[in-house]
Structure 1
Amino acid sequence: MSAIAKKELREYFFSPIGYVILGVMLLLFGFFYSQVLFSQTTDLIPYIYNMLLSWIMVILIPLITMRTFSEEIRTKSDQGLLTAPVGVFSIVFGKFLAAFLMFAISLTATLIPAVIITFFSSPDWPKILCTYIGVLLCGIALIAIGVFISSLTQSQIVAAIATFGISMLLMLIGNLGNNVSASLQNVLNWISFQSRFQPFSNGILNIGSLVYFVSVAAVFLFLTARKLESRRWN
């Protein structure tokens, strides 16, 4: 498992995609963060972290996960991996772990502006750090979904677009039920990643949301393992 994770993580940085991911993250984050600086206040910092970190991962994660299995399926190199003396779940979790570490590394770079601004004011660090925890948990679920989608297609573009679409749906689904019954609205809010993420952006460590995100990740990693298992015997 660790060998697969290390191999995958190296490939992110030995190919342009890793640097493209970091560049896109820093470019978008820098642009939005500049709005806080121009406002000459730190009151917007938790808000900008909430909006930027929650929405930028919808763009970032498809770029990270699109190649996890799709490229190997396209080049037929997945057959060598599937016939290796290693468990299917070890393969899946190794690739998932590498994608998560790439995501976490990208997020770490976004802490730099907040550290700099502490020399001039006092940003709400507990709320900012709690937001990061929420982003990482939400990211775990979305990465697992992206890894699963990547195992279904040999096209990285298709995998990225599908992951982006599903990520957007899961973020916005709570806003789609304004004209439905209250019970259905409650179900949509329960599913909504945005609703689950909201307590973290308010500085609250919500155990229910933590369990939800981890459970979603576990389900999709299990589905990915089952998909690979079926391919191994075909």
Structure 2
Amino acid sequence: MTAVLKRELRSYFTSPIAYVFIGILCALYGFQYWIVMLNGSSYYITSYVYQNMFMWSLMLLPIITMRSMCEDRKNKTDQALLTAPVSVTGIVWGKYLACLTVYLIAMLLCLVPALVIGIFSSPSWASIFGTFVGTILYGAAMLSIGVFISSMTVSQVVSAIVTFIVSVLMLMINSLAGMVQLSFLANFMNWISFNTRYQAFTAGTFSISSIVFFLSVIAVFTFLTARKLESRRWS
């Protein structure tokens, strides 16, 4: 797994992908912090920047995941990887952790301005760090879904588009649940909603059940990706 992780990280940082993702995300947050400074209130760090930060992240996640699995398949290097002395699970986790590492680097850089502003003001740190942790968990779960989608196609464009659509649907699922007439279906949609789990973190509350939920999503989709990869090993 470590060898795959290093290989993937090298691939991300020797190509524009990681820099484009980190650069765009930091630029978007920089713009929002500029608006915060214009308002002259540390309150907006929470209400304007960090309560909306996950939306920017989710829109950009396909940049990271689109090549994670399908590039090897497109370049015909997947068979060499599958015959290497590493388990399929190790391959999947190596690729997933590489995506997660790029995401975490970007998120940590986006937290720096809040720490600087905090020197001169008193923002709601519980809400900021709660939102930050919630955004990381939300993004980590979406990354696992994106990696799974990437394993289903040979086209990076298709992978990116489908992952983007899924991200948008996950953002809208609560609204869609409100339009459903069947109560059991609406309740189920609200239960699987990432937004429902995320909201607890924005209030500065660290919900154990929400943490377990996001970690379970990661486990399920990495397992499904491994099974998809395993099926190609013997095909």
**Under a length normalisation based on structure 1, what TM-score does the superposition of the two structures give?**
0.96
* Aligned equivalent of 2:208: 207
Deviation string, structure 1 residues 128-161 (Cα, Å, up to 9, x no partner):
1111111111112101000001111111111111
Matches of 2:52 and 2:179 in 1, distance apart? 28
- Which secondary structure state, in structure 1, belongs to the residue aligned with residue 177 of structure 2? coil
Structure 1 residue ranges, 4+ long, deviating more than 4 angstroms after superposition: none
Matches of 1:25 and 1:120 in 2, distance apart? 24
Q: How far apart are residue 32 of structure 1 and its match?
A: 1.9
Instruction: Pick which of 26-35 and 203-212 moved more.
Output: 26-35
Q: How far apart are residue 85 of structure 1 and its match?
A: 1.6
Alignment of 1:14-93 (within 5 A): 14-93=14-93
RMSD over aligned Cα, in angstroms?
Answer: 1.3
* Aligned equivalent of 1:217: 218
* Aligned equivalent of 1:189: 190
Instruction: Pick which of 38-47 and 216-225 moved more.
Output: 38-47
**Percent of aligned pairs with the same residue?**
47
Alignment of 1:82-161 (within 5 A): 82-161=82-161
The answer (yes or no) to whether the contact 1:32–1:52 under 8 Å persists in 2 is no
* AA at the equivalent of 1:15: S
The answer (yes or no) to whether the contact 1:174–1:191 under 8 Å persists in 2 is no
Matches of 1:219 and 1:82 in 2, distance apart? 21
**Under a length normalisation based on structure 2, what TM-score does the superposition of the two structures give?**
0.95
Deviation string, structure 1 residues 83-134 (Cα, Å, up to 9, x no partner):
1121000000010011101100000110121122123211111211111111
Q: How far apart are residue 178 of structure 1 and its match?
A: 2.2
How many pairs align? Answer: 234
Matches of 1:179 and 1:82 in 2, distance apart? 45
Matches of 1:40 and 1:62 in 2, distance apart? 34
* AA at the equivalent of 1:216: V
Alignment partner of 1:231 is 2:232: yes
Q: How far apart are residue 171 of structure 1 and its match?
A: 2.0
Matches of 2:63 and 2:139 in 1, distance apart? 13
1:35–1:183 distance in 2 versus 1, CA, 3 Å: farther
The answer (yes or no) to whether the contact 2:46–2:128 under 8 Å persists in 1 is yes
Unaligned runs of 5+ in 2: none
- Which secondary structure state, in structure 2, belongs to the residue aligned with residue 204 of structure 1? coil
The answer (yes or no) to whether the contact 2:170–2:193 under 8 Å persists in 1 is yes
The answer (yes or no) to whether the contact 1:133–1:200 under 8 Å persists in 2 is yes
1:140–1:47 distance in 2 versus 1, CA, 3 Å: same
The answer (yes or no) to whether the contact 2:51–2:202 under 8 Å persists in 1 is no
- Which secondary structure state, in structure 1, belongs to the residue aligned with residue 79 of structure 2? helix
Matches of 2:51 and 2:72 in 1, distance apart? 34
Q: How far apart are residue 11 of structure 1 and its match?
A: 1.3
